[in-house]
Amino acid sequence: MASTRPANPRLNYYQQSPVRGQLENPDGTTKSGWRYIQCTDTPNELRILIPPRTALIYSHLLKAEVAELAKDQAASWERIVEIRHLKDRMIRKCTRLSRETTPKDKAATHRVMFQTVHAPPDFRLKEMERWFKLQGGEVMKGASGPAAGAYCRDCRECMAHQARTQAYAQNQPSVRAPSSSREVPPTERMARRQPAPPNPYTQFGPLPPSQGQRARGPAPRGHVRQASMPAAPGYRPAGSRPAEGRKSSEYLRAEHTARPHVRSPDPLPIPYRTRARSVSPEDRALSTPTELGDSPVRRVLDLPNGSTSPAPSPSPRESSSGTPPKVSTSPNGLPTIHEDQEHEHRPIVRRRSSLKKRDSMSRISVASQSKSVAWAMDRDWVEQMSHYIKTSNEAEVLSAELEKLRLEYHDEIEGMRALCLRVEESQERVRIETDSLRRNEQAVKLQESKILASSEQIELKQAEFQAKVLAVLEETKRVVQLCDKKRDVVHDSS
């Protein structure tokens, strides 16, 4: 008989974790706004008490997750993954905080099963706050729907719990909402959406913008974040700004709006130089008054008055050198006609004279003390080359002598090394002979000790032998005496 197999229950992907990452309901044991967050799947195994602002933003995050999961098949998994990533970041930060508060000596010995940690008042998650600033209005609008039917109106306990929750929510301090989700009057919204004023250059005339202004681009507008993220019509934050704050913001906005009308002056022009040239101190001293008179800055400053700076009189030294003086005015006395704006700041091209000055171009020559023409440089060059060849020959001789000294020094070093080797060998031989003599000394001492022991034994044997000889002599003497007595007795009896 075939038995019916029960159908496999499908997993519910559209639900939150029942314990991990959840916020506990506020109770009377904690401060106003502080709430516990569960960091593990086991209740109260690790819970962190987080401050009111972070708890409020995290509760909005949980409500956004519930609102997204309630869409079932139409849920956006990208948004769910983003929200759960922020939840994991918060849990990891809480776990790291618990590890930091645990002493190191106790963490290695035993592990606390149930732990409660109080976070500092500045505990926050900046990534979650940025997400809340971008998604704050949508979160509040989506989470305000299902919160109304969370409690039934028939059960007395549920109604009492709902009343306590509402009373706690009314007693909570107002938390500052982000700038992107702040309630704004309709007049301010319209002011933010107004287009930027036209370019002031088009109002004053056909003067085109300068090159620096074209490179910098248009001027930045004030309050960019508020203009890009207008407040949602259905979002109502917990706290509101006072009237003084709105007035100050309107004043700042008006000031920022008037800033684009201010025109900055044109940048100073960079003079065009055809090629770089090394200038001697004398040339610099002689050309300084003329260049100051003809500089672009001086001409720009003198243009509005319509007068030109007179050319300074040439110095006697400059006139004697053969360079013609510069004349700023025309021979007939007419005023100078300036060129257009583009070619105004181009400097006057200076030509070098074929006559070389004593201290500027003839520095290579040592013997030249007067002016010389260009073809006279060959003689100085030959003298310099001969001096160079002489110096190089002397350097080669010195290098040969140094090489000879170096070889002699190396020979001396080799002799010293050979002497050191011979000394080491002699020292080694002396050490070997000393060791052999020390061993012979030890052998002689050992033999001496053996001879002393043998002599002691001989003395003992000698003493024993003398004692035995004396005993034999005594016995012999006694026997002789007895024999004498017997002989006397026999003689008497006969």
Find where tokens 């930060």 sit: 93
| % of the chain surpassing 70 pLDDT | 47
Structure tokens at 355: 């006559």
Please answer whether residues 328 and 314 qualify as being in contact, where contact means their C-beta atoms are separated by less than 8 angstroms: no
Q: Which of 171, 192, 222 is the last residue of a domain?
A: 171
Average pLDDT over the chain, rounded to an integer: 67
Counting the structural domains of the chain, the total is 2
Residue 278 belongs to a domain? no
Residue 384: what pLDDT?
A: 87
Structure tokens at 312: 């300074």
Residue 228 belongs to a domain? no
Segment 334-388, tens digit of pLDDT: 444 444 444 445 556 565 555 555 554 445 444 444 555 555 567 788 888 889 9
Give the CA distances from residue 312 to residues 281, 286, 322, 374, in Å, rounded to whole numbers and listed in that order: 19, 11, 17, 30
Q: Which of 141, 171, 201 is the last residue of a domain?
A: 171
Residue 205 belongs to a domain? no
Whole-angstrom distance, CA of residue 32 vs CA of residue 102: 26
Bigger pLDDT: 337 vs 423: 423
Residue 116 belongs to a domain? yes
What is the β-pairing status of strands 35-38 and 115-118? unpaired
Bigger pLDDT: 373 vs 188: 373
Find where tokens 């008179």 sit: 293
Residue 435: what pLDDT?
A: 95
Whole-angstrom distance, CA of residue 62 vs CA of residue 55: 10
Segment 264-318, tens digit of pLDDT: 666 666 665 555 444 444 444 444 444 444 444 444 344 444 444 444 444 444 4
pLDDT over threshold 50, residue 185:
no
Q: For residue 356, what are the β-bridge partners?
A: 372
The residue among 75, 57, 56, 53 whose CA lies nearest residue 66 is 75
pLDDT over threshold 70, residue 163:
no
Segment 28-72, tens digit of pLDDT: 788 888 999 999 999 989 999 999 999 999 999 999 999 999 988
Bigger pLDDT: 180 vs 451: 451
Please answer whether residues 212 and 269 qualify as being in contact, where contact means their C-beta atoms are separated by less than 8 angstroms: no
Residue 22 belongs to a domain? no
Q: How confident is the model at residue 216 (pLDDT cuts 50, 70, 90)?
A: very low
Q: Find the mean pLDDT for residues 203-231.
A: 41
Q: Is the dihedral of CA 416, 421, 425, 428 positive or negative?
A: positive
In one letter, which amino acid is 154? D
Q: Which of 137, 171, 205 is the last residue of a domain?
A: 171
Residue 14 belongs to a domain? no
H-helix or E-strand spanning residue 115? strand 115-118
pLDDT over threshold 80, residue 447:
yes
Residue 252 belongs to a domain? no
Whole-angstrom distance, CA of residue 34 vs CA of residue 290: 78
Q: Find the mean pLDDT for residues 94-122.
A: 80
Residue 473 belongs to a domain? yes
Structure tokens at 207: 């003067």
Whole-angstrom distance, CA of residue 392 vs CA of residue 144: 96
pLDDT over threshold 50, residue 194:
no
The residue among 198, 204, 202, 194 whose CA lies nearest residue 219 is 198
Structure tokens at 389: 């060849």
Q: How confident is the model at residue 333 (pLDDT cuts 50, 70, 90)?
A: very low
Q: Which residues contact 204 (CB under 8 A, 6 or more apart)?
A: 263
Neighbouring CB atoms inside 10 A of 144's CB total 14
What totals of helices (H) and strands (E) does the chain contain, helices first? Answer: 14, 3
Transcribe 78-96 into DSSP letters. HHHHHHHHHHHHHHHHHHH
**Domain hosting residue 123, numbered range:** 35-171
